[in-house]
Amino acid sequence: MTEPAVRHPIFARAWDRLCGLMERELAVQRQELLAGLTGRVLEIGAGNGNNFEHYPATVDEVIALEPEPYLRGKAHEAATRAPVRVTVREGVAEALPVGDESFDAAIASRVLCTVRDQERALAELRRVVRPGAELRFLEHVRSPHARTAWLQERLDGSASGHGSAAAATAHATPWAP
């Protein structure tokens, strides 16, 4: 099945700027997320590649997928500065362009709120990691505060081009824009 293209030029540029402001705080979470990984790693929705500098040297290779063209360009730049080998490719989480059981770990960092079909994305992640591999998440949950939740839903919708999935995302850190 052909996946619709992911294009959200306004969000992409806004996210790139916002990351610059939030990165000091996020960097600690990124390091924690990636610590101890080994072997071949798949990262979905890599954005501008802000995780790349935090991969430990024990990782042999990262295949980083990013569907949005502007952010993918930024990710290509970040890959050149990464301490490990990072290959950036186009691809959506719902139809991963990689083989079965071909990764030692998979990373989803602030991505699942933007994918169109979370169940398919999770099934795809399960397909591509080898038995016993790790799936590591760094995702936000819907705020208990109505105004913040409203804002989250608007932002998630602008990132994906569809309605928000914030309410269905149930992992890790509370997120307040």
Q: What torsion do the CA atoms of 59, 5, 127, 165 make, to the nearest 10 degrees?
A: 90
Bridge-based pairing state of the strands 103-109 and 85-89? unpaired
Cβ 7 to ligand SAM, closest distance in Å?
9
Residue 105 binds ligand SAM, judged by CB under 6 A: no
Instruction: Please pick, from the candidates 14, 27, 31, 116, the single residue that binds ligand SAM as defined by CB under 6 A.
Output: 116
Q: Footprint of ligand SAM on residues 120-159 (CB under 6 A)?
A: 159
Instruction: Please pick, from the candidates 67, 105, 118, 152, the single residue that binds ligand SAM as defined by CB under 6 A.
Output: 67
The residues near 12 (Cβ < 8 Å, ≥ 6 apart) are 68, 70, 71
Q: For residue 5, what are its two tokens?
A: 């293209």
Residue 70 binds ligand SAM, judged by CB under 6 A: no
Report the 10 Å Cβ neighbour count for 28: 10
Residue 79 binds ligand SAM, judged by CB under 6 A: no
Please, where are the H alpha helices in the chain?
Answer: 9-34, 69-81, 118-128, 146-160
Q: Footprint of ligand SAM on residues 25-64 (CB under 6 A)?
A: 44-47, 50-51
Instruction: Please pick, from the candidates 78, 86, 114, 124, the single residue that binds ligand SAM as defined by CB under 6 A.
Output: 114
Identify the DSSP state of 116. S
Residue nearest to ligand SAM (CB): 47
What is the binding site for ligand SAM (CB under 6 A)?
Answer: 6, 15, 19, 44-47, 50-51, 66-68, 71, 92-94, 109-111, 114-116, 159-160
